[in-house]
Each structure stands twice: as structure tokens, then as C-alpha cells.
């Protein structure tokens, strides 16, 4: 039979066990929160370091030649990133109907540019369907971390 003193001891041990368990769970949760915070700070630091270390990519294209309605059009657009080998992405907006940006190709350590470098060569091509003056926006960017972006506007004239 359990006397009052033994019952008291069992209750005290149970309370100590539950308190220890609560503290352990609390510390585990805090540890996970701190770990997540540290990862976020590390990503922010990587992004800032990347942005501080490299200049943004630049477009080596100075203009787009005129095109004709119903005639095949093809114009090459160049972009360069100096300081590292990076995947570059190029996008074009407000292209005339019938034209698209595609056929992109990356080259590394192009001879006339300080190395390491990346050159992205893309082609705007297709058959324009309507005459007009189009203001094309071309954007080049690096992927994350620390996306570096360059945009430029070009005038494209499509004549009859």
C-alpha cells in the first residue's frame, strides 16, 4: 500500500517530469525558430553580397533595324554579365504581333570582355503582321539570389 509520503514523492516526480518535458519542447520550438531566422538572414546576406560584388548585366544592342509587314524579320540581341558565369534571362515586351523573342544561347568567357563573363545572345524573329512604331522593352536579369536587372527601350518600326 502507498502511504502519503510515497504519493507525494510520485506527484513531485511527475511534476518535475512534466516541467522538464515542457522546457524541452519550448527549447526545441525556439531552436527551430532561431534556425529558420538564421537561414533567412543568411539568404539576405547572400543576396546583398551578390549585389555588392557584381554589376548588373548590360545590353550590348544599340537599336533594332526596321522590318516590313509580311516579310521575315530576324534581329539578334546581345547581353553581357561580367564577373561570373551566370545564367541570364531575357524578356521582351510589347513586340508587334507575329514577332517573338527566342533562340537564346549562352556563351562563357567571350574573348573581348573581362573574364569570367557570360554573354546571352537572343533572336527576335517572326513575320510582323501590322505596320507601326513599337516601343519594345527588353529586360535582362540574373536568377536569384540577388537578382540583378537591366532594362532598355528600343524603337522598332514596321513598314508596309
Q: Determine the Cα–Cα distance for residues 117 and 54; give it in Å rounded to an integer.
A: 11
Average pLDDT over the chain, rounded to an integer: 83
**pLDDT number for residue 132:** 96
**CA separation for the pair 138, 93 (Å, rounded):** 7
What span, in angstroms and rounded, lies between the C-alpha atoms of 88 and 148?
Answer: 10
- Residue for cell digits 510582323? 128
The predicted model scores a pTM of: 0.66
Better-predicted residue by pLDDT, 82 or 156: 156
Count Cα atoms within 13 angstroms, Cβ side, for 156. Answer: 30
Residues forming a β-bridge with 140? 90, 150
Strands lying side by side in the sheet with 99-108: 58-59, 73-82, 117-126, 99-108
Each residue of 55-84: pLDDT tens digit?
A: 888 888 888 999 999 999 999 999 988 888
Residue 25 scores a pLDDT above 60? yes
Amino acid at each position: 500500500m502507498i502511504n502519503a509520503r510515497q504519493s507525494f514523492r510520485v506527484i513531485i516526480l511527475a511534476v518535475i517530469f512534466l516541467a522538464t518535458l515542457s522546457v524541452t519542447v519550448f527549447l526545441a520550438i525556439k531552436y527551430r525558430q532561431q534556425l529558420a531566422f538564421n537561414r533567412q538572414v543568411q539568404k539576405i546576406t547572400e543576396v546583398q553580397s551578390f549585389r555588392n560584388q557584381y554589376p548588373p548585366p548590360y545590353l550590348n544592342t544599340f537599336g533594332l533595324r526596321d522590318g516590313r509587314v509580311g516579310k521575315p524579320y530576324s534581329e539578334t540581341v546581345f547581353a553581357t554579365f561580367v564577373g561570373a558565369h551566370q545564367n541570364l534571362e531575357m524578356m521582351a515586351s510589347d513586340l508587334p504581333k507575329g514577332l517573338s523573342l527566342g533562340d537564346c544561347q549562352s556563351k562563357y568567357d567571350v574573348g573581348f570582355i573581362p573574364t569570367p563573363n557570360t554573354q546571352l545572345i537572343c533572336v527576335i524573329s517572326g513575320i510582323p503582321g501590322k505596320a507601326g512604331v513599337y516601343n519594345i522593352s527588353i529586360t535582362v536579369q540574373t536568377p536569384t539570389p540577388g537578382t540583378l536587372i537591366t532594362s532598355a527601350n528600343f524603337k522598332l518600326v514596321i513598314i508596309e
